[in-house]
Structure 1
């Protein structure tokens, strides 16, 4: 069985040592160790924003970010649902090794927690002398647990500890650090304090207050996850005018159970589009603030999403082609469920207007940030630093393969090996297990299963799948 990689990086952009071969020097000098703002959208598909082909939903600020930064076309999430994807990001491990491999609710509030001592990217930045803040949805523990945000490296937190409660945009409470903050104005009315705006404004305040020091801000926004609820402002009204009401009605007739456990949205297509544009507005305000503070060329801004687009609460990814040219949505391990938008911007350090096809995944963030900050800690990770690609200097190492697993729908696994992609379905039901093989170089939509034509490649990928993972007591395919 393959062992997790163990690497030690003793220098980087921020490091004082310059003798080792891993050092990556930018074209311009950093004013100080670069700040990092990591923006994670919730259930946003790769096709939902204009840099990846969206024409109906307006995202001018993300388009600007792409024009001024590097747009990646082959970035993958941790998996196809929230908690395990975020665990992969935080720990630098894929879902064959992370402790959290699925969404598992803990009553009365929260999810299963990471074990005490789990090392996170927040702790990496904290050890490097950064101020660290988390704003939005956490979903990797429960209040007071060992993986509460304030116990895994974040100095400051405002948001939802429980990802299930994050589906409510007018919540009765949020968590400010370890303090529960009540919103009585939201108790018995549909509109009061809109949490997404509140959390975003707190994030802006955090950036402003830490402009004079190095900081890491993890902005885990809940937009555009269901429930499709937001203030009915001018943007919402403009989409109500742009999108015919009959399109909403037709979708409702075709999909009577489309809302699931979520409340009804009067105009779900307009609401979803408005939520994406609202998210885009947040990105624009962040870039404006960085320029105002004079730190935009010393701040790396990352934008991505946790998994593919959803069909919940009245959302219709088919209408917007939210999955882009790919097959699948949230909970699928086809490309549409796990191939994410990824845009990274830092003027004068990251080349602007560049489209890059480097194959990367969320678990690459840990080693990339380790190299960036110059850590000397040995870190267990499945990732590979893509700092050489980001800065355009040095030789970029490549993955032998990328691996995912998913613990719903009977259990699923996927592995990408070069341009070959293997997908196993009903892993936990041996009598129903199937294996599909796709050649992504010829079949990006994964329409043509060629497993019968290439039995040796099937065998190769199945062997890699077996070696890529360790067993988990919490997430056991055999118990599905």
Structure 2
């Protein structure tokens, strides 16, 4: 195909001119291809589907993202993720943040959470969701999320990804969970951020019910709660699961764009597999029959229902004959839930990774990720380089051929298009940063207010409350079982200095010690006091 030929050109040009892959693709459409001149405007741009799952863990799939299969890979049935992996590239070390809103704001803005300061989950205006801590007061983080308008209190003002895609000629579709801004703020409505279509997105980060028979929470018994899913009235009273209703609506929206010969960006942001854990009746019994308890069988049925949605979207673009011009990116917003609400032993649902959602350990931040880009990404490939959620912002814009955009915010993300083409690789020494000066509300390994950095094989976590450090070599110890902080002072010093430098650079907020009334130390200062 034409795009494969571009790879060899890109390999040469990248070393001299640093041209993005998407730019070369657009150039190729103008040079030596007469038939392109007769196509409707915009048809050379690829359609883009970003399929984001809520709370899906690294192990919640039959696709192994490790060097070997595990019992969890045999528990879950995700044939369409397997299909997507065969068609594209699987990333084994893709990262998000420990909870949902920070990830979604990083995705929409390209900013690291330490910089945008939406560090915990959002809901009600001017209200923090931090749980109380006996020692710490938490900073005035941006509890109202992001805003496309300046001057909105306790928000990060930013140019949103869909607004830039809309400027580039895309029909922009939001479907599912939004969770970008608190209630009664501009960011609560995805349409203010550049989505032309908003299907079921609002301020809340979970549904009150997944069941159409319960109107997805819009019933008298649930009146007064903020969790009812809006805008799906035509499915009310029907025996349909929320995941399926969203999928049907997404297909209708894509069809509208296809009929107009307009490239589309579909942000398919499922509420699944977030709580409440409710059984998807299409798949529940098969998991009960394997011996799982009712909660875990319900959870597995939600995973498979999500996978069915992915397959339905893949089938749809094939039926419409746009599959060869459609990119699909699959990602989760944080690690799999394990501290509460699950069946079985807490903190074990993501093994060999430690802990889960809300944790600084790998189980809380490492995600399943797959990218399919026909003609550019070699099918059935695996990439072990790491990346982080804010990298999706510049990557998607490069995919869309939009490389000269302007934003009001500083971008932290780095495009991973070179990883997809394998034409160039980023530095192995690139550091990744996490910052969570908050209280999520559960206990467990790695859970608590923290800052962290990964560089190469090494990862350092600094816990704010007690000034404690955890240092791990992830290549040798993926389960974070052996804390090397007391054994490797040189690496501890190097990593704490690196993390402190970044926190200073972005003026990262820190909790306040209730006893002294002063913000807690950055990691290097804490290390020097040890």
| Greater RCO (CA < 8 Å, at least 6 residues apart) | 1
Which deviations, in whole Å up to 9, do the C-alpha atoms of 1:243-269 show, x marking residues without a partner?
A: 25xxx2xxxxxxxxxxxxxxxxxx111
Deviation at 1:209, TM superposition (A): 1.7
Query: Number of aligned pairs?
Result: 430
SS of residue in 1 equivalent to 2:186: coil
Residue in structure 1 matched with residue 114 of structure 2 by the alignment: 96
Q: How does 1:51-130 map to 2 (within 5 A)?
A: 51-52=63-64, 53=69, 54-77=73-96, 79-106=97-124, 112-115=144-147, 116=149, 117-130=157-170
Q: Distance in 1 between matches of 2:492 and 2:427?
A: 25
Q: Is the CA contact (8 Å cut-off) linking 1:96 and 1:470 kept in structure 2?
A: no
Task: Rate the CA distance shift 1:128–1:351 in 2: closer, same or farther, 3 A.
Answer: same
Residue in structure 2 matched with residue 377 of structure 1 by the alignment: 405
Residue in structure 2 matched with residue 42 of structure 1 by the alignment: 54
Query: Mean alpha-carbon deviation: is it higher for 52-61 or for 374-383?
Result: 374-383
Which deviations, in whole Å up to 9, do the C-alpha atoms of 1:417-469 show, x marking residues without a partner?
A: 111100112x1x3xx22011111121111111111222122122222222223
Query: Mean alpha-carbon deviation: is it higher for 59-68 or for 373-382?
Result: 373-382
Task: Rate the CA distance shift 1:243–1:151 in 2: closer, same or farther, 3 A.
Answer: same
Q: Distance in 2 between matches of 1:342 and 1:375?
A: 24
Q: Distance in 2 between matches of 1:346 and 1:319?
A: 37
Q: Which runs of 5+ in 1 are unaligned?
A: 1-12, 14-18, 174-178, 249-266
Q: Is the CA contact (8 Å cut-off) linking 2:122 and 2:181 kept in structure 1?
A: no
Q: Distance in 1 between matches of 2:487 and 2:124?
A: 45
Residue in structure 2 matched with residue 336 of structure 1 by the alignment: 363
Q: Distance in 2 between matches of 1:356 and 1:27?
A: 26
**TM-score in terms of structure 1 length:** 0.81
Task: Rate the CA distance shift 1:461–1:317 in 2: closer, same or farther, 3 A.
Answer: farther
Residue in structure 2 matched with residue 301 of structure 1 by the alignment: 328
Residue in structure 1 matched with residue 421 of structure 2 by the alignment: 391
Q: Is the CA contact (8 Å cut-off) linking 1:317 and 1:323 kept in structure 2?
A: no
Residue in structure 2 matched with residue 172 of structure 1 by the alignment: 218
Task: Rate the CA distance shift 1:49–1:382 in 2: closer, same or farther, 3 A.
Answer: same
Q: Is the CA contact (8 Å cut-off) linking 1:226 and 1:312 kept in structure 2?
A: no
Q: Is the CA contact (8 Å cut-off) linking 2:200 and 2:231 kept in structure 1?
A: no
Residue in structure 2 matched with residue 240 of structure 1 by the alignment: 288
Task: Rate the CA distance shift 1:165–1:321 in 2: closer, same or farther, 3 A.
Answer: closer
Match of 2:265 among 208, 216, 237: 216
Which deviations, in whole Å up to 9, do the C-alpha atoms of 1:154-194 show, x marking residues without a partner?
A: 11111241334525322218xxxxx95475996xx9x8663
Deviation at 1:342, TM superposition (A): 0.5
SS of residue in 1 equivalent to 2:114: coil
Q: Is the CA contact (8 Å cut-off) linking 2:279 and 2:297 kept in structure 1?
A: no
Residue in structure 2 matched with residue 21 of structure 1 by the alignment: 18
Deviation at 1:99, TM superposition (A): 3.2
Deviation at 1:127, TM superposition (A): 1.7
Q: Distance in 2 between matches of 1:163 and 1:457?
A: 41
Residue in structure 2 matched with residue 442 of structure 1 by the alignment: 476
Deviation at 1:38, TM superposition (A): 0.4
Q: Distance in 2 between matches of 1:361 and 1:330?
A: 16
Residue in structure 2 matched with residue 451 of structure 1 by the alignment: 485
Structure (1 or 2) with the larger CA radius of gyration: 2
**TM-score in terms of structure 2 length:** 0.74
Task: Rate the CA distance shift 1:231–1:49 in 2: closer, same or farther, 3 A.
Answer: closer
Residue in structure 2 matched with residue 203 of structure 1 by the alignment: 250
Deviation at 1:227, TM superposition (A): 0.7
Task: Rate the CA distance shift 1:475–1:389 in 2: closer, same or farther, 3 A.
Answer: same
Q: Is the CA contact (8 Å cut-off) linking 1:300 and 1:344 kept in structure 2?
A: yes
Q: Is the CA contact (8 Å cut-off) linking 1:27 and 1:348 kept in structure 2?
A: no
Match of 2:456 among 418, 422, 432: 418
Q: Is the CA contact (8 Å cut-off) linking 2:330 and 2:371 kept in structure 1?
A: yes
Q: Distance in 2 between matches of 1:97 and 1:217?
A: 27
Residue in structure 1 matched with residue 153 of structure 2 by the alignment: none
The two structures, once aligned, show a CA RMSD in angstroms of 3.2
Which deviations, in whole Å up to 9, do the C-alpha atoms of 1:29-82 show, x marking residues without a partner?
A: 7761111100111111111111124111111110011011100011101x1001
